Structure formats: structure tokens, C-alpha cells
């Protein structure tokens, strides 16, 4: 019969998994910031979207940490109720999708600005 891992080993494995999640989120943010940075915006436009790409995942991670620390949701998936499990899934999806949504918003905004400028250039009598 195989021996059960000790509790300290279990906590170390959980911490390693947490660090992997943080690393993946950080790399996702870095990639999305690179994509945003390649867009040509007026002064300050890039910074607004880059800040949002960083702030949204950090806010989501902070909200989940607060929920776990306050006891509103269980930290271990095996102890979670169905509602807590779906809430965790929602936060996980938002954690990874938030930088993508910011990048999408930046691209849409850039195209909208370009079409507005093109429409203004076509109007006679405007400079």
C-alpha cells in the first residue's frame, strides 16, 4: 500500500501549482501588452490599454484571494459547493480572458479611430 504524502508535501505541491498559474498569467499579460504596444495610438493610448491588461488580472486574483481568506469560498476544489465551483471557474476564465478582451478592445478602438479620421478627411471644408 503506497504511503500518503505528508501534509507539508501537499502544501508545497499546491504552492508550486499556484506559482505555475501566476507564471502563465504573467506571460499572457506580457504577450497581450506586446500586441497592444504594436498598435499605433495617439499619445497615452497605449498606456491606458497596457495598464488595463495588467490591472484586470491582478484585480481578479485579489478578489479571489479575499473571498478565500474571508471564508466565502473554500480554497480546495474538493471542499467547494457547486456554486463555489462555478464561481471559481468564472474567475479562472476571466483571469485568462481579461488581457485578451483588453487587446480586442484596443484593436476595435484603433479601427474606430481610423474610420473616424477617414470620415473627417472626406468631409469638404474641414481641416
For 115, the domain range is: 12-122
> What's the confidence (pLDDT) of residue 11?
57
Q: Is residue 2 part of a domain?
A: no
The burial class, CB within 10 Å (0-12 / 13-18 / 19+), for 65 is: exposed
Q: Is residue 6 part of a domain?
A: no
Give the CA count within 13 Å in the CB-facing half-sphere of 15: 6
> What's the confidence (pLDDT) of residue 95?
93
Q: Is residue 3 part of a domain?
A: no
Q: Which residues 6+ apart lie within 8 Å of 105 measured at CB?
A: 49, 52
The C-alpha cell that represents 115 in the structure block: 474610420
Per-residue model confidence as pLDDT tens digits over 6-48 = 555 555 566 677 788 889 999 999 999 999 999 888 777 889 9
Q: Is residue 5 part of a domain?
A: no
Per-residue model confidence as pLDDT tens digits over 68-108 = 999 988 888 788 899 999 999 999 999 999 999 999 999 99
What is the tally of structural domains in the chain?
Answer: 1
Closest C-alpha to 34, from 117, 121, 103: 103
DSSP annotation string for 58-70: HHHHHHHHHHHHH
Per-residue model confidence as pLDDT tens digits over 57-69 = 999 999 999 999 9
User: Using 50, 70 and 90 to split pLDDT, how confident is the model at 127?
Assistant: low
What is d(CA 41, CA 45) in angstroms, rounded to the nearest whole number? 5
Amino acid at each position: 500500500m503506497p504511503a500518503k504524502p505528508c501534509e507539508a508535501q501537499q502544501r508545497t505541491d499546491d504552492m508550486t501549482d499556484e506559482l505555475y498559474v501566476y507564471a502563465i498569467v504573467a506571460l499572457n499579460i506580457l504577450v497581450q501588452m506586446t500586441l497592444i504596444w504594436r498598435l499605433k495610438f495617439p499619445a497615452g493610448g497605449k498606456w491606458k490599454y497596457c495598464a488595463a491588461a495588467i490591472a484586470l488580472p491582478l484585480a481578479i486574483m485579489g478578489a479571489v484571494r479575499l473571498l478565500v481568506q474571508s471564508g466565502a469560498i473554500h480554497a480546495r476544489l474538493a471542499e467547494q459547493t457547486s456554486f463555489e465551483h462555478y464561481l471559481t471557474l468564472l474567475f479562472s476564465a476571466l483571469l485568462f480572458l481579461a488581457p485578451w478582451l483588453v487587446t480586442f478592445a484596443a484593436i476595435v478602438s484603433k479601427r474606430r479611430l481610423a474610420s473616424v479620421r477617414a470620415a473627417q478627411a472626406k468631409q469638404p471644408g474641414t481641416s
